[in-house]
Amino acid sequence: DAGVIQSPRHEVTEMGQEVTLRCKPISGHNSLFWYRQTMMRGLELLIYFNNNVPIDDSGMPEDRFSAKMPNASFSTLKIQPSEPRDSAVYFCASILSQTAINPNYGYTFGSGTRLTVV
C-alpha cells in the first residue's frame, strides 16, 4: 500500500500564476478530502468528495480555487490566479467511507504539498 500520494512536494510560483496540486488516494477508498494547513489557522477543510462527487465545498476560499475528481484514483486542486496569501501546506486525505465509523480506521493523509506564492 503506497498510501496517499501527492505531487508536487514543493511548489514555488509567482503571484498570478496557475497552480495545480495532485492527489492519488489509496486504492479502494471512496472519500477524498483536501485540507490546507497554516500556522495561524491550522488544518482547514477545503472540499471533500464521495464516490468522485463533490459533497461539501464550503471551505473553498473563493472562486480562484477549484477541485476535480475525474475518477476514483485521481484528484486535482487548482488555484488560478494564485496570491501570496495562498501560501500554505495542502494535504489530501482519503478513507473508505464504510469504514469511517470503524474504531480501527482513521483518515489517511498524504505528505502534503508546500506551496509558496511570491
Partner 1 sequence: EDQVTQSPEALRLQEGESSSLNCSYTVSGLRGLFWYRQDPGKGPEFLFTLYSAGEEKEKERLKATLTKKESFLHITAPKPEDSATYLCAVRAPGANNLFFGTGTRLTVIP
User: Which ranges in the chain belong to alpha helices (H)?
Assistant: none
Whole-number minimum distance, CB 16 to partner 1, in Å?
A: 28
Using the minimum distance from each CB to partner 1, give the nearer residue, 20 or 45. Answer: 45
Contact 49, 68 (CB under 8 A): no
Residue 35 φ then ψ, to 5°: -120, 155
103: region left, alpha or beta (phi > 0 left; psi from -120 to 50 alpha): alpha
Contact positions vs partner 1 (CB under 8 A): 4, 31, 33, 35, 41-45, 48, 50, 55-56, 91, 93, 95, 97, 100-101, 103-112
Whole-number minimum distance, CB 2 to partner 1, in Å?
A: 13
Using the minimum distance from each CB to partner 1, give the nearer residue, 17 or 97. Answer: 97
